[in-house]
Amino acid sequence: MAVSLQSVLELTVPGLGYELVDVELAPNGVVRIFIDKPGGITVEDCATVSNHLQRLFEVENIGYERLEVSSPGLDRVLKTPADFERFAGQMVRAKLRLPLPDKRKRVLGKLIGFEDGRVVIEADGERLSLEMTQIDKVRLEPQF
């Protein structure tokens, strides 16, 4: 991801009153931005952020084909230590870069939190303490 795009988003989105959850750059020039706020995201929130960013990208000369702004959804991705603390107690699905000693690369369990610089998940009665570098992606696992 272009450093300039990331830095522009990290400065701008929180200034508008939203959390920048994730940014995806698709090969066809689509920029997807996922935002959140307490109480959830509405269509109007997405329109507000999209309109602001379109004008800002023009001023900053950031090229893109299409801009998509949306909520992170019920299965939002967790990336930061703050995310792991905020969603402690929730069920998560983790995809690992390297397998665990038992050969698993995917873990479904309860997020305990972020302790000593590691993500802690309780899965199958076992407490796993994972370094951030071991993790490819962690998503909330919606419970219905």
48 is written with which tokens? 């507000």
Which overall architecture, per CATH, does domain 3-70 show?
A: 2-Layer Sandwich (3.30)
Q: Which residue has the tokens 């995809």?
A: 95
**For each of the chain's 144 residues, which pLDDT tens digit applies?**
444 788 899 999 999 999 999 999 988 889 999 999 988 999 999 999 999 999 999 988 888 999 999 999 999 999 999 999 999 999 999 999 999 888 999 999 999 999 999 999 999 999 999 999 999 999 999 988
Q: Element (H or E) spanning 24, and its range?
A: strand 19-25
- Give the burial class of 48: count Cβ atoms within 10 A of its Cβ; 0-12 exposed, 13-18 middle, 19 or more buried: middle
- Picking from 98, 77, 72, 102, the residue whose alpha carbon sits closest to that of residue 87 is 77
Are the CB atoms for 69 and 50 separated by under 8 Å? Answer: yes
Architecture, CATH, for domain 77-140: Roll (2.30)
Give the residue extent of every domain in the chain: 3-70, 77-140
In three-state secondary structure terms, 115 is: strand
